[in-house]
């Protein structure tokens, strides 16, 4: 999966919108959704630029002691996930936080780190055409957002993407996919 994510990052880096980015003045947000049997997995990478890292750190380091505790990280991740939504065939599905990875405070402060939030949403598998819609409204400061979907076939199921639609600002991704028994 890391190889696929690396490829996605390279493709995004070559797009004109990403080339115009000012990474020092923005939080770059990459959402990687994986459609897997019985679940949708989310990896949300947040990379703040040095000029905006302070605003993100204020939200992350609740007691301002320049140390990010596990409790602070978990609460932050829950707030971020609370500002994103997932619907499957028009029905809202809740995210369950799996984990959050936070680099050292000084690295983030310098604009050289990435916070990674991993979550999962359970779903029922069923044959036929389905629609997955993801929306990321988290914007602590100016943000550059992108979302991509990956497929993880599993025992008994194959998935095929039949259509994708993205909003110009990277906030919304809608994917139509077909599920068949293998």
Q: What is the pTM of this model?
A: 0.86
* Sequence-distant (≥ 6) Cβ neighbours of residue 44 within 8 angstroms: 29, 30, 31, 32, 80, 84, 116, 117, 118, 119, 136
pLDDT of residue 135: 98
In contact, 123 and 131? CB cutoff 8 Å: no
> For a pLDDT cut of 90, what percent of the chain falls above it?
75
Q: Which two tokens stand for residue 174?
A: 């809608």
pLDDT of residue 12: 45
Angle between helices 53-60 and 70-81 (to 10 degrees): 110
- ∠ CA 123-81-3, rounded to 5°: 70
pLDDT of residue 23: 75
Q: Rounded CA gap, 116 and 100, in Å?
A: 6
pLDDT of residue 140: 87
pLDDT of residue 22: 45
Q: Rounded CA gap, 180 and 153, in Å?
A: 10
Beta strands in the chain, from DSSP E residues, in sequence order: 27-36, 39-48, 84-88, 91-93, 96-101, 115-122, 128-136, 143-151, 157-166, 172-181
The tens digit of pLDDT for each residue in 139-161 reads 988 899 999 999 997 778 899 99
pLDDT of residue 20: 46
Cβ-based burial of 32 (10 A; exposed 0-12, middle 13-18, buried ≥19): buried
182 residues of the chain, pLDDT tens digit each: 444 444 444 444 444 444 444 478 899 999 999 999 999 999 999 999 999 999 899 999 999 999 999 999 999 999 999 999 999 999 999 999 999 999 999 999 988 899 999 999 999 889 999 999 999 999 988 899 999 999 997 778 899 999 999 999 999 999 999 999 88
Of the candidates 136, 77, 71, 66, the residue with the CA atom closest to the CA atom of residue 104:
66
């Amino acid at each position: 999966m890391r190889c696929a994510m690396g490829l996605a990052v390279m493709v995004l880096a070559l797009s004109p919108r990403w080339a115009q980015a000012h990474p020092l003045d923005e939080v770059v947000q990459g959402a990687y959704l994986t459609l897997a049997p019985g679940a949708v997995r989310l990896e949300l990478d947040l990379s703040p630029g040095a000029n905006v890292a302070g605003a993100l750190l204020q939200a992350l380091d609740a007691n301002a002691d320049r140390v990010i505790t596990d409790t602070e990280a978990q609460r932050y991740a829950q707030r971020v996930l609370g500002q994103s939504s997932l619907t499957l065939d028009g029905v809202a599905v809740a995210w369950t936080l799996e984990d959050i990875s936070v680099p050292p405070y000084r690295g983030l402060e310098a604009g050289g780190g990435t916070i990674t939030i991993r979550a999962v949403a359970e779903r029922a598998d069923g044959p036929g055409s389905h629609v997955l819609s993801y929306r990321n409204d988290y914007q602590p400061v100016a943000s550059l957002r992108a979302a991509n979907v990956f497929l993880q076939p599993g025992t008994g199921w194959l998935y095929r993407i039949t259509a994708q639609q993205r909003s110009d600002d990277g906030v919304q991704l809608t994917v139509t996919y077909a599920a068949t028994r293998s």
